[in-house]
Structure 1
């Protein structure tokens, strides 16, 4: 009998677990925290039809995997405690064991870069990191991942770590400081799951169903779903969407840059970021620039499919070949390579047009990657001669492709939230909005759907905490319209209408010159105040307006959630109030008394609205005796 090598023998007798992968969802890992005082959902994947038995803290349950391999059990509710061992055992013999599991409260923290900003980049980081020492506070980080369809499992399984110096520095500062503040008065084990991505829009974090409820996203959702079945068809459809947007912004013009229309200027050889070209209009330009190149082909060369390589684009492109959309990508560091379907090319001149949108810092076609059209037979035709034209600022920003990582529809919901499945949470903290300041009119509906969707499968009254946008931008010299103020108002109203949400106002602790303010300690404290109030504790979260009515030559605004009384800082007058009529808004003198502000009506004004701190970076001085600011607001004045 031939002898079997030891390594081969080991492979032959390997357990089924090694062959089929983990039984448990990635959130069930060593040092995890699971939610107390409610049934504990435990779930994962096994072979179709296979029975899986789960045991935790002396409680057991068995489930059978469905045809897709997915299984779930709900263990009886447990009180806070631990550590415990969690075990999942399949009928085939596969076993997965998770150790040091605590039962406590679990919070999901999500948003864009201000939620993502780590402790090591915030104030007093050296001391904060070195003083971290709390085994009862556990943290899990969800890696960046986008997807065009919902993922059943994480791209990379999260790992749980206790709050120690080697873990705290890279974790979300706002989320960590919120938890640390809560732990000062409640020693219940606390778990934090952090899933954020800098620059992301709220639309990327919502499912298609939630987006449909919030507004008109049907075309985007249909295009995204088409991309799963026929990506070239989806690229063509998206190209038509961009053309329709451009035509609408240009008074219904039939043609456009993709057809060669417009005034073109030769671009520098080698292209590169346009700020370096020495062209005055592009020296500090954020917006859209169109590029075009031409390739002449024979009938034989034009036959069949091809591939288009255009290198890197800072930061978003939609690319056309002979007026047909062939691709759209977001991300300055991504090399673009687009398939060109058979029938797109033609004998004679072929026009390649790239719209490059830049919203921050440098922009353009750049990098060392060669730009070329690669024919079906492998022939490379370099693209070396380019022209450009600048899209007027007045046109505004184009819509983003529905598969855009950060500004598309459902991409981060699919890649980062969907894999969490029914994992049980105590609450949800949301810190986002900067990327939606260009379209504030839709934000309230989107935020309300986000909060509702996060409660799906959770407690119906699950607490939700929302950080309002900080003060950022140019100083306010006169009453103005402000998209930042409009998003703040959308956040305020969404929270006010929710019933189980609290707002953390931070317009007094931001940095007008830095979109990423580093004082996240106070952000965390204000989030924790919201959590405590929603838990029924006798704490306030800051003054919020409830009514405004005209009384003689004044408008009286009353507030709730006032600690003791309102007070002004640095002046005996309340600064930052405005009164508005149908024509304009004007600054107005005001005084505060107890829980109200009394605003003097400027001569000749018949006020219909009152507002405070209505600017990108407002100046105001009204607080309560707990040191919490009156948040920005706009309210109708009753006669």
Structure 2
């Protein structure tokens, strides 16, 4: 915190002194063209601040002016769109005062947020020493970490920073557990840099053990009827307290995308409202960042997320599979009509029973980042014909006379674990609701799985796949595509005849 305190004193001093807002600093990355980066800071009320961007040799390439306005004495200016690259100096001048940020680059800025699986550091993951040693190979992937803080009201600027903008080093990435800097965020940034070939700025705002309600604005909570029903959770669990302190201050940043890993805490809180609270958070963050950046952040800001991994083997609880389903707004795959411009990394096959941090914290973050990266390339960067998620069923047809159920998939199938039970059918019985029973796999063809439903009788009311807290062993779920991406879990319901439809169906 000493480095942060010094930086704050230099760049964002109190009173009438000139300074940049807390999350602008040396070594930072600002969003590149085709949009502009918004820059703001503090100054003396009623004066004019001149902001200049200078390149090599001090040559001024851009100059902007901004008036310092109340009540908090802030100025704001929008830079012209800049091609990726650098280094630049960014200077704010007010009368005889000036503050200069050095080693500033333009590239893509990604926000990484969530709970403890997002907060896990490189020190904690598989092959940590190898990953740490590689840090010096990525000097243009720049890092910034918000300190875990909460507030009962929306803050204009950050109250705490764990890591000011920094060039990655093994010491920064490996200094502790569940503190700066996020392994998933770092590994995603690495892969983005390798693909894009220009600077990437990573902003981490994460806090372990926190529910989505704490990251949601009052607007988003009201959209799900939650604000009046939350009771009185305290600390970082309270409604909107992390939105207020850790997200709202960042809204002036122009962003390229968001990566999100959260949900474990909501297997204990409002689980079956996550199909509302998660789409509502995404839509609300998009509106807020678009407005806060003077329209520069895209109104459909690309939003990637990690579907929950595993927790307890042989657990009878179904909150994890329900939460996984709700992460897709009960539609199974993304992007979808309720969650446009999103992408998902399936992680249910990355369970880590021997993790020293508890099985809820699997150490294989490399595969998570790889799957997120594929989604980012396809959704955030528009890479055509890129397969970025595993096979998903398009229809399921019942052969009554042979007691078989044929499931057609979108992609070529790889049957990786032949003896692992994974499919269940919901059978009609005299009692209600219907009973879920295992449906053994008979055959797997190129794009089709055939199940035996002999134990179900003539009427199948539903079908689900991988519906368990721990659905399979490490990288050994039943179905993958040839690229190694697992088929995501799903839940289908009957149309009233012999065909099961892909429709929202939780609760049959």
Contact 1:464 1:501 in 2 (8 A): yes
2:7 counterpart of 1:156: no
1:83 equivalent among 70, 83, 87: 87
User: Which of residues 161, 167, 171 is equivalent to 1:166?
Assistant: 171
SS in 1 for 2:63: strand
Q: Which runs of 5+ in 2 are unaligned?
A: 1-9, 55-60, 176-180, 291-296, 428-432, 498-508
* Equivalent-residue separation in structure 1 for 2:369 and 2:18 (angstroms): 35
Structure 1 residues 263-319: Cα deviation after superposition (integer angstroms, max 9, x where no partner): xxxxxxxxxxxxxxxxxxxxxxxxxxxxxxxxxxxxxxxxxxxxxxxxxxxxxxxxx
Rg larger in structure: 1
Q: Structure 1, residues 453-493: CA drift from partner, whole Å, max 9, x if none? A: 222212023211110000221326xxx66011000001123
Structure 1 contact 481–614 (Cα < 8 Å) conserved: no
User: CA offset at residue 400 of structure 1?
Assistant: 4.1
Please list, as runs of the form range in 1=range in 2, the aligned pairs for 1:82-481 lying within 5 A after superposition.
82-90=86-94, 92-133=95-136, 134-157=138-161, 158-170=163-175, 171-218=181-228, 399-401=231-233, 404-438=234-268, 439-456=270-287, 457=290, 458-475=297-314
What do residues 524-572 of structure 1 show as CA deviations (whole Å, max 9, x unaligned)? Answer: 1111111111122232222253533333233333333x3xx1111142x
Report the alpha carbon displacement of residue 49 of structure 1 after superposing the two structures with TM: 2.9
Instruction: Supply the distance in 2 between the matched residues of 1:410 and 1:16 (Cα, whole angstroms).
Output: 25
Asked whether 1:501 is paired with 2:501, we answer no
Paired residue secondary structure (1:149):
coil
Give 1:436 deviation, angstroms. Answer: 0.1
Distance 2:16 2:445 in 1: 68
Q: How many residue pairs end up in the alignment?
A: 438
Q: Quick one: which of 22, 25, 31 aligns to 1:29?
A: 25
Which one of 66, 69, 72 corresponds to residue 76 of structure 2?
72
Residue 169 of structure 1 and its aligned partner are, at CA, apart by 1.9
Equivalent in the alignment of 1:282 = none
Of residues 327, 348, 351, the one that matches 1:491 is: 327
Counterpart Cα distance in 1 of 2:97 and 2:245: 27
Match of 1:45 in 2: 42
Quick one: distance in 2 between partners of 1:448 and 1:411? 19
407-416 vs 456-465, which deviates more?
456-465
CA distance in 1, matches of 2:284, 2:196: 28
- Of the structure 1 ranges 454-463 and 33-42, higher mean CA displacement relative to structure 2 is found in 454-463
Q: Secondary structure at the match of 2:21?
A: coil
Please, which of 590, 595, 603 is the counterpart of residue 456 of structure 2? 603
- Does the CA contact (< 8 Å) of 1:54 and 1:60 recur in 2? yes
CA RMSD of aligned residues (A): 2.3
Q: 1: CA distance between counterparts of 2:212 and 2:459?
A: 37
* 1:626 shift after superposition: 0.7
SS of match in other structure, 1:475: coil
Correspondent of 1:589 among 413, 418, 440: 440
Runs of 4+, deviation exceeding 6 Å: 14-18
Confirm or deny that 1:624 pairs with 2:481: yes
Distance 1:101 1:433 in 2: 35
1:531 matched to 2:362:
no
Closer/same/farther in 2, CA of residues 431 and 605 from structure 1, 3 Å limit: farther
User: 1:157-186 CA distances to partner (integer Å, 9 max, x unpaired)?
Assistant: 451111222222241111111111222222
Select 1:550's aligned residue among 390, 397, 404.
Answer: 397
Alignment gaps of 5+ in structure 1: 1-13, 221-398
Q: Note the C-alpha offset of 1:219.
A: 5.7
Corresponding residue of 2:490: 633
Q: Does 1:567 align with 2:406?
A: no
C-alpha contact 2:122 2:183 (8 A) present in aligned 1:
yes
User: Shift of residue 135 of structure 1?
Assistant: 1.1
TM-score between both structures, scaled by the size of structure 2: 0.81
- In 1, are the aligned partners of 2:395 and 2:409 still within 8 Å (CA)? no
